[in-house]
Structure 1
Amino acid sequence: MGEVPPEVVEEMQELATAVPGLKTRYKLLDKIGEGTFSSVYKAEDLTGSVIKSFSRHFWDSGNRQERRYVALKRIYVTSSPNRIYNELNLLYMLCGSTRVAPLCDALRHHDQVIAVLPWYRHEEFRNFYRDLPIKGIKKYLSELLQALSFVHSKGIIHRDIKPTNFLYNPQFGRGVLVDFGLAEMESDSKSETRHGKEMRTSENYCPCKGEQSSQGQTQVYPGNHPHHKGKQTSAMPSAAHSIVDLTKGYPKHETRRNKRANRAGTRGFRAPEVLMKCSNQSTKIDIWSVGVILLSFLARRFPMFQSLDDTDSLLELCCVFGTKKMRKCASLHGLGFDVSGLEGISEDGYKGGLAEFIQQLLHGEVEAGTFPSYSIAFETYEFLVNRSTGESIAPSVEFQVAYNYSQHDLKKYHDEVWSDHYWCLEVLDQCLTLDPHKRSTADELLSSTFFNELVDSDCTEENDDEDDVLIIEN
């Protein structure tokens, strides 16, 4: 651990003094995170009570000292009481899975609220997403989907699935879902168990459509709105860079009542139904976010989408899926959708689908020489080239030399990798389905052929929480 900055030391001392009993139970060590509504500190459990009660949630790294560390989440007083209660209550409900960070302890003094969770040694997503091989991606997704399977089984929508909220250790092959600050219970009307899977066959079904029979047309035209000048979308090819000057998609004198819906989430990871203000959002919005993470892995690009508002976010999706599919998606939610005069946006998007989109992004990096010759990204690129041309591509000699494979072993490895890519793209398509009613659930994705080799080893979720004991002190 490096030297802690003086301002952080002062901040931790202030916190320890502000909450009676805190410094007798926890020793603050460092500040490890900060968000809009909270700060997170690494601390030592001085009494060992948290470790004892929640031992199965702490990863065994072989370092006994690390098992004494916890994370203290200081929730800012600017958070509403309902928001604080909601997060703590949901964390308490979710203590039965080792892939979800449990609420181990909680302290409150006046307006100071602190949640105590396990500390996990993990790697920053930016440090490994460009180098993780396909089997590593498979393990990452398996861990994330198992966490979501458990969360969704409790009727909870996380709403903020993104790499920083899924702490993953590539060395251990373990991950844990954190930060339920935006999470909410899924209402009965949203639950697929109530509507049944037959709703997936309905071309124009969404309960939000019946709430307002006429929402009018959302129109997007080229303009000179100052907010959009000079901005480029990170994942869009150069042909789409003309999409920078846009007016907001609302008539100047609108008299109809605006659509209201929960739009909470992180830009770039929000599902189409969130962007279109669907009031019937479900756990499927989390699955879309999983798809965006997978897209970043395969294209070796992060962030994938980063527009600043809903209009631009919809345009980014138009670049990939085309206006025809986006109009159909809008119609599902009782909306019109019209995009006019924007270069780089076509009716059909990428005709080869997401696979062609990824191939074009990788091709740009290959041409620019940004990947080293031994980069694992070439496996994905060669598979996609072969997929689009139908030609057979032999394993690269450079890869054989770099990893000391025999010709037989290399051929076997090559076949496995290409098979994994085939099924991985199927999972990607199932995640990034515009219609939420046809989008797969976490359980359905885990039953995909892509995860078959992991089923016997680790796809069984634990639900034994008999020895998880929570003590909340006031």
Structure 2
Amino acid sequence: MSALHAAPTDTFGIQQPVAATQGPKYVREDSAATDSDGSIEQIREEVEYEEGDAQDKEDVDESVKEDMRKLEDTFPGISDRFRLLNRIGEGTFSTVYKAEDLLYDHYENDWDTFQDNHTDSWTDQPSKRRRVEGDNGRSIPVKRRKPRFVALKKIYVTSSPHRIQNELELLHDLRGCRSVCPLITAFRYQDQVVAVLPFFPHTDFRIQYRTFLVADMRHYFRSLFTALHSVHKHNILHRDIKPTRANRAGTRGFRAPEVLFKCTSQTTKIDMWSAGVILLTLLGRRFPFFNSADDVDAMIEMASIFGTRRMKAAAAMHGQIFETNIPTIGEKGYSWEKLVKWASCVEELTESEKQATRLLAGLMELDPYKRLSAKEALQHEFFTDPIDHDVEWGGDPDDSADTGEEDEDKDDGEADENGSLGPGDIFSSKYNY
């Protein structure tokens, strides 16, 4: 994320390095810093943890285990507070691990949206690690604590101190904002910085995107736009909205046209374009939808959809010139509805899909000034007056969804006079120049 304004330098103080013999100091939002000392062992011994259960369910590669051991060895005290279970993400600036919070019950956890589901937090089953005998010699069940998971984000030392501080300050400022992942705490040892965030169970988007119904999309994007509305109100640009983590900020295929045209006055609307690409991916059942290797290819892909006329106008808006001699790229481009039908290989869209496509048109608008904001998107009919007409992908819409009238020729974004082309023709044309 990046801010449109300079972040204050005194909002979130990062701990100063401490000697290795003393151990790192940890900062919680609700408590003072505490040293890594014997008191932690005393706290841990108060309860019996379901240690095996948490680890046995994780299928962890040996290289990942070695990576986690390295973090534990080089960051004194981290294993006293967290049990690393798996590596769940890797990017340009950080690696994210799933971990069990061993001291969860000793802090206020107002960040935990799943607290209501933790009422049965203790079990009376016999412990896997030890059994306690009573006076009569019989085994007494030992209460065990159900694991609480968090995400540990290890920020690489190659990141500048200012960038790390800026990220933590922004996350701190966004605490309490709806649908925004809160910063639980952060701590540092020498040049290593680890941020602690909530862990959310999830299915890999690359597996799940084919199964999304429109109702699922509505729930997904209501949360996303709610979060972006809060983020944008703080004058913050996320700059890397995408459905799954990748190794590059501003990931290819999700960059807005003003980013490709090197516009120097980018706004929060670049995030809304990226959200539109996610919606296009879900409606078109294609991931990734765009496959450009560089910015030039990305502009050719856009031109295949929007046509040369609109691309030239968009370029001129940012002081640039767009030209192409690729014969398969027409002047007018295509309507979003036709494109979604081609991509998803259906003859007709349901009424709910058509409604979602109308939202898509507002998100993937070349002119950032006409593109929907997060607040405007939440006021779209897709959310305020939803059409309940959903079918699983591969099914046929009911006859009631088809008006029987072919009115696509009236669309501004209709295909050029060369006739209809399939999606393969659109997206393979970029290789012909």
Query: TM-score by structure 2 length?
Result: 0.67
Contact 2:272 2:373 in 1 (8 A): yes
Please list, as runs of the form range in 1=range in 2, the aligned pairs for 1:213-362 lying within 5 A after superposition.
Answer: 265-340=250-325, 342-350=326-334, 353-362=335-344
| Counterpart residue identity of residue 297, structure 1 | L
Partner of 2:370: 438
Q: Match for 2:225 among 145, 150, 170?
A: 145
Do the aligned partners of 2:96 and 2:153 also contact (CA within 8 Å) in 1?
A: yes
1:50, distance to aligned residue in structure 2 (A): 8.0
1:2 deviates by 3.2
Mapped pair 1:43 → 2:64: no
**Structure 1: which 5+ runs fail to align?**
166-178, 183-263, 364-377, 384-416, 455-474
SS in 1 for 2:312: helix
**How far did 1:66 drift?**
6.9
Q: 1:101 and 2:184 equivalent?
A: no
Q: Structure 1 residue 98: deviation in Å?
A: 4.4
CA displacement at 1:111 relative to structure 2: 1.1
What residue ranges of structure 2 are gaps of 5+ in the alignment? 1-56, 122-144, 387-433
1:144 to partner: Cα distance: 0.9
Moved over 6 A (4+): none
Q: Distance in 1 between matches of 2:206 and 2:106?
A: 31
The answer to whether residue 239 in structure 2 is matched with residue 159 in structure 1 is: yes
Aligned equivalents of 1:87 and 1:4: distance in 2?
29
Match in the other structure for 1:14: 70
Residue number in structure 2 paired with 1:223: none
Separation of aligned partners in 2, 1:163 and 1:310 = 20
Aligned residues of 1:45 and 1:51 also touching (Cα < 8 A): no
Relative distance call for 1:317 and 1:161 in structure 2 (3 A) is same
Which secondary structure state, in structure 1, belongs to the residue aligned with residue 97 of structure 2?
strand
Contact 1:57 1:101 in 2 (8 A): no
Q: Which amino acid aligns with 2:329?
A: I
Question: How much has 1:56 moved relative to structure 2?
Answer: 3.7
Residue aligning to 1:125: 205
Please name the residue that 2:36 is paired with: none
- Contact 2:178–2:226 (8 Å) recurs in 1: no
Q: Is the 8 A contact 2:89 2:97 kept in 1?
A: yes
In 2, the alpha carbon distance for the partners of 1:444 and 1:93 equals: 23
Call closer, same or farther: CA 1:46–1:56 in 2, change over 3 Å.
Answer: closer
Task: Spell out the pairing of 1:181-200 with structure 2 (5 A cutoff).
Answer: none
**TM-score computed with the length of structure 1 as normaliser:** 0.61
**What's the offset of the Cα at 1:75?**
0.8
Residues 60/120 of structure 1: CA separation in 2 closer, same or farther (3 Å cut): farther
Give the total of aligned pairs.
Answer: 306
Q: What whole-Å deviation, never above 9, does each CA across 1:376-427 have from its counterpart, x for those lacking one? A: xx5xx422xxxxxxxxxxxxxxxxxxxxxxxxxxxxxxxxx51x22321211
Q: Quick check: which one's helix share is greater?
A: 1
SS of alignment partner, residue 348 of structure 2: helix
Identity across matched positions, percent: 45
Q: Is the 8 A contact 2:183 2:197 kept in 1?
A: yes
Deviation for aligned residue 1:77: 1.0
Question: Match of 1:337, SS?
Answer: coil
Tell me, in whole angstroms, the C-alpha distance in 2 between the residues paired with 1:436 and 1:282. 8
Distance 1:453 1:324, change over 3 A: closer
Provide closer, same or farther for how the CA distance between residues 429 and 291 of structure 1 changes in structure 2, counting only shifts above 3 A: same
Counterpart AA for 2:296? T
Separation of aligned partners in 1, 2:88 and 2:262: 34
How big is each residue's C-alpha offset from its partner over 1:237-288, in whole Å with a ceiling of 9 and x where there is no partner?
xxxxxxxxxxxxxxxxxxxxxxxxxxx5110000000000001101000000
What are the Cα deviations for residues 288-321 of structure 1, in whole angstroms up to 9, with x where unaligned?
Answer: 0011001011111110112111111000000000
Q: Highest Rg: 1 or 2? A: 2
Paired with 1:156 and 1:59, the residues of 2 have a C-alpha distance of 29
Contact 2:341 2:348 in 1 (8 A): no
Q: How far apart are the structure 1 equivalents of 2:288 and 2:224?
A: 18
**DSSP 3-state at the match of 1:336:** coil
The answer as to whether partners of 1:60 and 1:67 remain within 8 angstroms in 2 is: no
Q: Secondary structure at the match of 1:123?
A: coil
| Deviation sequence 1:326-369 (CA, Å, 0-9, x none) | 000011111122112x132111111xx11111222233xxxxxx
How far has the Cα of 1:93 moved from its partner? 1.1
Conserved 8 A contact 2:95-2:155: yes
Are positions 1:26 and 2:94 aligned together? no
Whether the 8 Å contact between 1:269 and 1:288 is mirrored in structure 2 is yes
In the alignment, the residues of structure 2 paired with residue 333 and residue 325 of structure 1 have an alpha-carbon distance, to the nearest angstrom, of 13
CA distance in structure 2 between the aligned counterparts of 1:104 and 1:11, rounded to whole angstroms = 23
What is residue 109 of structure 2 aligned with on the other side?
53
